[in-house]
Structure 1
Amino acid sequence: MLAKQFGTVEVYWGGSLAEQIEFLAKGIADLILSKDNIMEAMMAESTQNYMPLIGYPSYTAFFISSREKPKIEKAYFLDKKIGLVDYPTSRSGHILPKQVFKQLDIDVSALSIVYASSHSALRDLLSKGEVDIIASYWQEHDQQRFSKNYITPIADNVSGSKWYIKMSDENTDLACSLQNSVNDVVNDMQSNYFSSLKHYWQCMTPPYGFIEVKNDEA
């Protein structure tokens, strides 16, 4: 179905928040990975007909250290090097930790913050001792480098990102084909995080049967 409807496929990897906003505002992307807060702010579902295909599960955001269990106290952060993601829409790596600092009445400019380009880069900084704490999510393989005793939750039930398709017409075959393709890719990643994906389209899969539609919100 993808080959029938698209002669070529162009993929844009990464990109800034400004680029993502431009893609949504102008309806450039046929398929895009985004977050609820961005889609709502851009009203992309109503103005550009973006509809969800697959939603990643909710997760918990943490402060993670390599030496001790982080404390949610003002004095604790003042003498620490803190690693955050240099991406203002990242909830676990940017928005939520800064909300904690605000709640603790900490001036962010008074903190020693090191910004990284990704969550993976944050983990490298922490393992090398270049920062004392990072703000991120917890993955199973993190236990190979860090201790689960040295993590402190920031927020629970943080909604995951979703893949959205631009659907000007009721192109169900295309939506189902893309949903199956994305589902196959994430299942190959062999992570427990992806075991409870929410599928928004109920589709027949060859030769028979339906993709399971889960009721829990991601």
Structure 2
Amino acid sequence: MYWGGNLAEQIEFLAKGVADVVLSKENVMQALMAESTHNYRPIIGYQNYTAFFISNKEKPKLDKAYFLDKRIGLLDYPTSRSGHILPKQVFKTLDIDLDALDIVYASTHKALRDKLARGEIDLISSYWRKDDQKRFSNNYITPISGEIIGSRWFLKMNDENTDLACELQSVISLIAKSQSSSYFESLQNYWQCVSLPYYFVEEGL
């Protein structure tokens, strides 16, 4: 098992076909031709989502002056689109020097929300969850981009090992649905796995 937050490392793993199972984006797989070269097949995928700037006291504005005096919470994970990549793209589009911003990094989306709820920061960049409205107002969110394609789990299938694909799909689904985040409630299965009923017969029949 290998855990890495670096896209370059992920690309090396996929390009060489090192990983047997990998969590990645469809566009990365297509760019590396990993599906045709190493027979990676999607097993299960997470739902699409939208990135937002979220505040606890006002609706964020997408203009330069608004961000300059704000404490902004981002995810300390360079490959996160909603928590890192897209907000920095917004700042670049608005011609804002990152050094001029008061950016506070957190290790998880939950940590960002906790800091926002405690008033340690003025706004965060993340996705909107169903249970967010318990602590924040959906009137105080501003979309950063359109719909983002969710990540998918891919299995390298050198053989048509359908049983393995179905079992992996089942295990990932159980783990995902055990998480507290509502983001994991909707999953897309890419294998139609059918469980056949068991029939008990008397010996000799």
TM norm. shorter chain > 0.5: yes
Q: What TM-score, normalized by structure 1, do the two folds share? A: 0.79
Comparing 159-168 with 18-27, greater Cα deviation is found at 18-27
CA shift digits 1:61-93 (9 cap, x unpaired): 100112211111111011111111122221111
CA shift digits 1:38-72 (9 cap, x unpaired): 32343322333211111111111100112211111
Matched residues in 2 for 1:55 and 1:190: separation? 17
Matched residues in 2 for 1:207 and 1:82: separation? 54
Among the aligned pairs, what percent are the same residue? Answer: 67
1:192–1:45: structure 2 CA closer, same or farther, 3 Å change rule? same
Secondary structure of 2:136 counterpart: coil
Aligned to 1:144: 134
Out of 47, 51, 55, the position equivalent to 1:65 is: 55
Q: Is the 8 A contact 1:69 1:152 kept in 2?
A: yes
Matched residues in 1 for 2:93 and 2:197: separation? 54
Matched residues in 1 for 2:108 and 2:11: separation? 19
Aligned to 2:70: 80
For the pair shown, the structure with the greater C-alpha radius of gyration is: 2
Structure 1 unaligned regions, length at least 5: 1-10, 209-218
Aligned to 2:107: 117
1:207–1:182: structure 2 CA closer, same or farther, 3 Å change rule? farther
Matched residues in 1 for 2:141 and 2:147: separation? 16
Query: Which residue identity lines up with residue 87 of structure 2 in the other structure?
Result: P
Aligned to 2:202: none
Aligned to 1:164: 154
Q: Is the 8 A contact 2:4 2:10 kept in 1?
A: no
Matched residues in 2 for 1:196 and 1:22: separation? 30
Pairwise mapping of residues 121-200 of structure 1 onto structure 2 (< 5 A)? 121-189=111-179, 193-200=183-190
Q: What TM-score, normalized by structure 2, do the two folds share? A: 0.84
In the alignment of these two chains, the number of paired residues is 198
Aligned to 1:8: none
1:121–1:22: structure 2 CA closer, same or farther, 3 Å change rule? farther
Matched residues in 1 for 2:4 and 2:110: separation? 14
Aligned to 1:89: 79
Matched residues in 1 for 2:103 and 2:176: separation? 32
Query: Which residue identity lines up with residue 62 of structure 2 in the other structure?
Result: I
Q: Is the 8 A contact 1:17 1:87 kept in 2?
A: no
